[in-house]
Amino acid sequence: MQDFHHNRARALLADAEELFSKQDVDHAVTQMAGTLNARFDQPDSEEFPLVLGVMGGAVVFTGNLLPQLTFPLEFDYIHVSRYGDEDRGGEVVWKVVPRSNVSGRTVIVLDDILDEGETLAHVKQRLLDMGAREVILAVFADKVIGKAKPVKADIVGITIPNRFVVGFGMDAYGYWRNLPGLWAIKTGN
């Protein structure tokens, strides 16, 4: 069993291509933090935004971004999945829904990737329905898919080509969320 996973994970990576190095990724996250700090770290600002990480893919992005934010905030998470262990999206499945603390708040949603946009469109709508005053979508990677998306990110770290990527929290078949850079895999493995 363990051999199977080792072999499959290694084969996946052997066929993959690094698109963004750890340095590229770090630089992009720091730029995103700068954008958020420019809005929320103001001397006379009384805003106290709620930052929501979208688990599981956003776990690494969230962990890297949060210590670079310099303003008072509340952190919480939601858990939504639509890909599971597949490389194609399906139905949006809520595993942990937003808590009632979103009502009346400015909510900053952190997610690893905006692909077809279905996940974040659902997330944004649910937060607005629950009474969020403003929803800011901050995505680490925005994929160029050649067609319109149901939602647009407000803050983007990197723009990536239309390939299935792993690393920096993103997985293929459950593998390689732990890679520090971003790699494109061959799909259909």
Ligand X SMILES: O=P(O)(O)OC[C@H]1O[C@H](OP(=O)(O)OP(=O)(O)O)[C@H](O)[C@@H]1O
Ligand Y SMILES: Nc1nc2[nH]cnc2c(=O)[nH]1
Q: What does the block give as tokens for 111?
A: 């997610």
For position 152 contacting ligand X by CB under 6 A, the verdict is: no
Residue 166 CB coordination number (10 Å): 24
Point out the catalytic residue in the list 111, 112, 115, 142: 115
CB of 181 to ligand Y, least distance (A): 13
d(CA 160, CA 182): 10
Among residues 140, 164, 168, 175, the one that binds ligand Y under rule CB under 6 A: 164
Coil, strand or helix at 114: strand
Is 115 part of the annotated catalytic residue set? Answer: yes
Q: Using CB under 6 A, which of the segments 20-28, 36-44, 95-103, 164-172 binds ligand Y?
A: 164-172
d(CA 53, CA 30): 17
Question: How crowded is residue 181: how many other Cβ atoms within 10 Å of its Cβ?
Answer: 17
The partner in contact with residue 164, picked from ligand Y, ligand X, none with C-beta cut-offs of 5 to 8 angstroms by kind, is ligand Y
Structure tokens at 106: 């400015």
Q: Binding partner of residue 165 among ligand X, ligand Y, none, CB under 5 to 8 Å per kind?
A: ligand Y
CA distance 182 to 161: 12
User: Looking only at residues 3 through 22 of this chain, which bind ligand X when binding is defined by CB under 6 A?
Assistant: none
Site string for ligand X, 94-113 (x = CB under 6 A): -----------------xxx
**Pattern 120-149, binding to ligand Y, x per CB under 6 A?**
------------------------------
Does 170 bind ligand Y (CB under 6 A)? Our answer is yes
Which CB atom, from 29 or from 179, has the smaller least distance to ligand Y? Answer: 179
CA nearest neighbour of 128 among 151, 96, 156? 151
Listing DSSP states for 115-130 in one string gives SSSHHHHHHHHHHHHT
Beta bridge partners of 71: none
Is 165 one of the binding residues for ligand Y (CB under 6 A)? yes
Segment near ligand X (CB under 6 A); pick from 50-58, 68-76, 101-109, 125-133: 50-58
